[in-house]
Amino acid sequence: MSDKPRESLAESVRQSLRMVIDPELGENVVDLGLIYEVSVVEVGVVHVEMTTTTAGCPAAAYLRDAVGSAAGIVEGIERVEVGLTYDPPWTPEMMNADARAHLGFGRKAAGR
Rounded distance between C-alpha atoms, residue 70 and residue 17, angstroms? 6
Cα separations (Å) of 93 from 35, 53, 65, 96?
A: 14, 12, 25, 8
- 62 forms part of the interface with other proteins (CB under 8 A): yes
Say which residues have a Cβ less than 8 Å from residue 29's Cβ, sequence separation at least 6: 17, 18, 20, 21, 22, 35, 50, 63, 67
Binding to other proteins by CB under 8 A, coded x per residue (else -) over 15-54, reads --x-xxx-xx-x-------------------------xxx
Within 78-97, which residues bind other proteins (CB under 8 A)?
84, 86, 92
> Which range of residues in 3-11, 40-48, 56-64 is near other proteins by CB under 8 A?
56-64
The site for other proteins (CB under 8 A) is made up of: 17, 19-21, 23-24, 26, 52-63, 65-70, 73, 84, 86, 92, 102-105, 107-108
